[in-house]
Amino acid sequence: MAVQLQSESWELFGSLKLAKQLTAGETLARLGDEHPEIVALCADLGYPTRLADFGKKFPDRFFDFGIAEKNMVSAAAGLAATGKIPFVATYASFLGLLCCEQIRTDVAYPNLNVRLIGTHTGIAMGFYGSSHHATEDIAILRSMANMAVISPADGVAFAQMIEESVASYAGPIYFRVSRGREETVYTEGRPGNKIGKANVLREGRDITIIACGIEVKASLDAAEFLANQGIQARVIDMHTIKPLDLDAVLEAARETGAIVTVEEHNILGGLGGAVAEVLMESGISCKFKRHGIMDQYALIGKPYHLYKHYKLDGNGIASVVNDFLSR
């Protein structure tokens, strides 16, 4: 069953200007001169993932495997074993789900420096339907030993963490990014996006909203709506889901006594599950709710309407928080 649509237009693929917020190719092209070990691999999706930007500058270090994603991941593992830092990008539904075995056995088990970039995550593919929606990838990837899982809020945060991953991080990483249409949360040059360290973007004492990815901006919008109702919500950008910033979670639990997690993902096994595990082991008394896709396959429709339907926009999140606090 498809969501009833209104007249707003939201094209499946953004303009190139908007898509460049994905930043992977542009950032890697900038780093490529200083780091000859960087190579890029795609699977017939160089332009939607923006890795083509790197390929234009370094064609001899850019490899397009066509629609052979599993081979691409295994080849990346081989390149990493020779000292390269491969950046592998395709849609999250193909990378995190289709290539699960290759990621586990070829990349995570030998603990190789492969950077996996799953784009167009969650329900961002809209009309392409369940085969192209990716609402299970966090749960799958964070269950793999050695694998870091990062879901940046916008292109600026993504670029900062790509740079850190090249400069100082050892081991495999799964970057979970949207389609390049996300609104800006961070400004250029602003510090603070460090792997494993959450960012408190708004202070509040009544409740904490912990979000990742595209839902960070939506949570900030929700906090504005809640403030108009006299509710002061703390907003945390938990961009690194593994390793999770335990201190940020425990501090929020102690100081606000209530936490809602928000993610464009199944509520089972994702950000909400990670935070719940920490709270259960902490012994801290804290009201808690997971908000996201409620253990179902998402409907088919334009992303704008899907986010609204699942209450993953600012108004929707604010209503969820209100209902939660009123109980």
Q: What is the pLDDT of residue 109?
A: 98
DSSP state of 76: H
Q: What is the pLDDT confidence band of residue 188, given thresholds at 50, 70 and 90?
A: low
pLDDT in tens, 71-91: 999 999 999 999 999 999 999
Q: Does the pLDDT at position 32 exceed 60?
A: yes
Span 174-183, average pLDDT: 84
Q: What is the pLDDT of residue 15?
A: 32
Q: What is the pLDDT of residue 6?
A: 31
pLDDT in tens, 112-123: 999 999 999 999
Q: What is the pLDDT confidence band of residue 20, given thresholds at 50, 70 and 90?
A: very low
CB 28 within 8 A of CB 38: yes
Task: Classify strands 258-266 and 287-293 as parallel, antiparallel or unpaired.
Answer: parallel
Q: What is the pLDDT of residue 322?
A: 96
DSSP state of 113: -
Reported residue count of the chain is 327
Q: What is the pLDDT confidence band of residue 255, given thresholds at 50, 70 and 90?
A: very high
DSSP state of 127: G
Q: What is the pLDDT of residue 261?
A: 98
pLDDT in tens, 282-294: 999 999 999 999 9
Q: Does the pLDDT at position 2 exceed 60?
A: no
Q: What is the pLDDT confidence band of residue 16, given thresholds at 50, 70 and 90?
A: very low
Q: Where are the domains of the chain?
A: 16-176, 199-326
Q: Quickly tell me which residue has 């020779």 as its tokens.
A: 82
User: Starting from the edge strand earliest in sequence, which strands make up the sheet with 85-91, in order?
Assistant: 62-64, 38-42, 85-91, 115-119, 173-176, 148-150, 240-242
Looking at per-residue pLDDT, the higher value among 266 and 14 belongs to 266
Task: Tell me the three state secondary structure of residue 251.
Answer: helix
Span 313-326, average pLDDT: 97
Q: Does the pLDDT at position 9 exceed 50?
A: no
Instruction: Report helix, strand and coil shares of the chain as percent, to nearest 5.
Output: 40, 20, 40
Span 91-107, average pLDDT: 95
Q: What is the pLDDT of residue 17?
A: 35
Is CATH 3.40.50.300 the classification given to domain 199-326?
Answer: no
Is 199-326 the same fold as 16-176?
yes
Q: Does the pLDDT at position 59 exceed 80?
A: yes
CB 266 within 8 A of CB 312: no
Q: What is the pLDDT confidence band of residue 190, given thresholds at 50, 70 and 90?
A: low
**Which residues touch 251 (CB under 8 Å, ≥6 apart)?**
none
Span 190-198, average pLDDT: 84
| CATH architecture of the domain with residue range 16-176 | 3-Layer(aba) Sandwich (3.40)
Q: Does the pLDDT at position 179 exceed 60?
A: yes
Q: What is the pLDDT of residue 189?
A: 62
Looking at per-residue pLDDT, the higher value among 274 and 181 belongs to 274
